[in-house]
Amino acid sequence: MILMSTEETFSMSKVILFFAIVILLLHLPAASASQKCNGWVMDQISEEFGISRTEVTHDALRLQTEEFTVIVQGPKYDMCLLNNKTHRYLVTSNYNDQNYKKNFEDKFDLQKGHSDTICGHKANRYTVFKKERHLVSVEFWTTDDLSTTKGLNDACTTYFSMAEMPPGYGLLLRCLKLKLSGVKYRFVDTTSIKPAYIPTSTFTHPKNYERVKGFVDLQATRHEYDKDVNSLFKEPDEPMSPAHKKEAK
């Protein structure tokens, strides 16, 4: 039996540790390659709904606020709305694309403007006019840069726009609405877009949530439902910041 001194033992331990680190580093690129970027993370702000974060891949989207989570994914592009306070969720069937377009065309005119850059991505600007008095109703910006499917883009526009924006123009990045006073405000504005790896589990809802049939049941009480629904239609009191007024011109 060959006995090593304490110094030799310490040196051998360093050699073993060195090779262990090398082996670990050699495996790191493979692990990273298996989780390469397949989507985007977008930070957004709304003067109606507050701060939100949206994770999106080519055919699925998850929008997260403090109280609610919205999931839209192919192939049907139904919307799953989760109440994170009551642990209840609702599934809304996909929109009727043709009926939605007809209703929009009956009430609004659309005018394309110049292209802008939002968070490093090309965005096409559109202005929606009410036919009745030819007043500006909405200005919105969409993009095709994120390689999202037409089905996802159209479903999200329809679900989130409340009939004031038509499908068929890309993924929504910014929307400015007009108050009765004539002041513009941010219905939604994207402040950051970063490439990211989005696991498929992102678009599954928690198993401990109870499925309900309607928006009333999504809330804990009728009082909470009335309060939340009324807040959706209440225009914000604070006008848009000077920076965004300049940006919206």
Q: What is the pLDDT of residues 121-130, one digit of tens each?
A: 999 999 998 8
What is the torsional sign of CA 25, 29, 34, 35? Answer: positive
Name 116's bridge partners. 123
CATH of the domain at 128: 2.50.20.10
Residue 191 lies in a domain: yes
Residue 133 pLDDT? 74
**Residue 221 structural domain:** 39-248
Task: Look at residue 208 and tell me if it is in a domain.
Answer: yes
Contact 179, 191 (CB under 8 A): no
* Residue 22 in domain: no
Residue 8 lies in a domain: no
Lowest mean pLDDT among 4-13, 118-127, 131-140, 141-150: 4-13
Q: With bands split at pLDDT 50, 70 and 90, how would you rate the model's confidence at 10?
A: very low
Q: Residue 2 — pLDDT band, cuts 50, 70, 90?
A: very low
- Residue 146's nearest CA partner among 202, 87, 112, 193 is 193
First to last CA, the chain: 86
Per-residue model confidence (pLDDT) at position 175:
92
Amino acid at site 230: N
Q: CA-CA distance, 135 to 151, in Å (whole number)?
A: 30
Q: Specify if 88 maps to a domain.
A: yes
Is 3 a domain residue? no
Name the more confident of 221 and 161.
161
128 is written with which tokens? Answer: 């929606």
Asked if 73 and 198 touch (Cβ cutoff 8 Å), the reply is: no
DSSP 125-142: EEEEEETTTTEEEEEEEE
More confident residue, 136 or 118: 118
Q: pLDDT, tens digit, for every residue of 154-185?
A: 888 888 776 788 888 999 999 998 877 778 88
Beta-carbon neighbour count of residue 184 at 10 Å?
18
* pLDDT tens figures, 20-63: 444 444 454 433 445 689 999 999 999 888 999 999 999 999 99
**97's tokens:** 């694309």
Domain count of the fold of the chain: 1
Token digits of residue 127: 């202005």
Residue 134 has pLDDT above 70, yes or no: yes
**Of 198, 196, 165, 184, which Cα lies nearest the Cα of 62?**
198
Taking the CB of residue 104, how many other CB atoms lie within 10 A of it? 19
119 has pLDDT over 80: yes
- What is the Cα–Cα distance from 67 to 22, expressed in whole angstroms? 46
In a domain, 115, yes or no: yes
Overall average pLDDT of the 119-144 stretch: 90
Mean pLDDT of 182-192: 90
Is 21 within a domain? no
